[in-house]
Amino acid sequence: MGSKEEMMWLDGNLVAMKDVRLPFLTPALHYGLAVFEGIRSYDTPRGPAVFRLKEHLRRFQDSIRIFGLQELPYDTETLHQAVHDTIRANHLRECYIRPLMFMAEGSMGLDIDSMKASVGIAVWPWGNYLGEESLEKGVRLMVSSFTRHHPNVSMTKAKIAGNYANSVLAKNLAVRSGYDETVMLDPSGFVAECSGENLFLIRDGKVYTPPKATILEGITRDAVITLARDLGYQVVEEPISRDQLYIADEMFVCGTAAEVVPVRELDTRTIGSGRRGPITRTLQESFYKCVHGEGARAAEWLDYVKLEDQARIAAD
């Protein structure tokens, strides 16, 4: 980005990021009263393209509804345009995109109906979350001693900021124990997901992943399932136990920030050959081709940012 000022969208306007300051008594800061999304834009031969923006904005609205707001602050159309404008204003081709709805004003009690919501969108260049080398080498995981949310305690379908305290506890325990990420079990003891990714295993040529009930319905998870089926693999969504992971032929995790990353070790056990497996590699390649504009699904899933508008935005 060089010396250019970083811009963000805030409640309808593009503003300089450095000028945005929150008062200490912002309710969102105290109780995690915020809802967010994580989206990526990729460079393609036709310019920057946002991967599955429609689905991400739908989940954003769904999260807000689950959180319990009566009135959604902005419609999908407005947010869609805002994402495009923010990317253009920052002259980025590949970036991570972070929409956030947060309770910005109101009482310091817990009654959200007495609060006012704001929405912001920031973008920044962000390499692979688990490290570029993880894409080939794979990551090491441990099963967490922290349980994933009980679906009647914290809503697993919503990206509510406060829910992420659970992910933070699990992730930090794993990293401080020398691992890259962590597998979280649901309250019944079955495999749920990682602190910020969904999880897949491969056994005898079939692809398995936990069912939706107690996990975040990852948009990358859905993309991987669809691409795998397009390639002729059988994909099974069924409860998975911890020891099924230990004896998997291959394992990988996926998410917007991490993308598609092989797992080489879990709880000190080597997974498969200890290297990226052949099916993981095929699915990974298919994913990266798609996000960069190749293949039939790219037409369906990529939302191209029109660069000819760039000059107009810069001049505004």
| Number of residues engaging ligand PMP in binding (CB under 6 A) | 13
**Distance from C-alpha of 196 to C-alpha of 219, rounded to nearest angstrom:** 12
Give least dist CB 50 to ligand PMP, A. 13
**Distance from C-alpha of 21 to C-alpha of 23, rounded to nearest angstrom:** 7
Whether 231 contacts 107, CB under 8 Å: no
Q: Which of 197, 250, 259, 303 binds ligand PMP (CB under 6 A)?
A: 197
**Does 119 sit near ligand PMP (CB under 6 A)?**
no
Write out the binding residues for ligand PMP, residues 151-170 only, by CB under 6 A. 167
Q: Which stretch binds ligand PMP (CB under 6 A): 168-176, 195-203, 240-248, 261-269?
A: 195-203
User: Cα-flanking dihedrals φ and ψ of residue 172, to 5°?
Assistant: -65, -40
Q: Which stretch binds ligand PMP (CB under 6 A): 26-34, 120-128, 217-225, 241-249?
A: 217-225
**Does 171 sit near ligand PMP (CB under 6 A)?**
no
- Of residues 105 and 222, the one with the C-beta less far from ligand PMP: 222
Q: Which stretch binds ligand PMP (CB under 6 A): 73-81, 129-137, 192-200, 302-310?
A: 192-200
Tokens 């929150």 sit at which residue?
22
Tokens of 75: 């419609």
Q: Is 159 considered catalytic here?
A: yes
Whether 313 contacts 83, CB under 8 Å: no
Long-range contacts of 20-26 (CB under 8 A, 24+ apart): 20/120, 22/104, 25/108, 26/102, 26/103, 26/104, 26/105
- Annotated catalytic residue within 4, 157, 159, 212: 159
Q: Which residues are catalytic?
A: 159
Residues near ligand PMP (CB under 6 A):
38, 167, 193, 196-198, 216, 218-221, 255-256
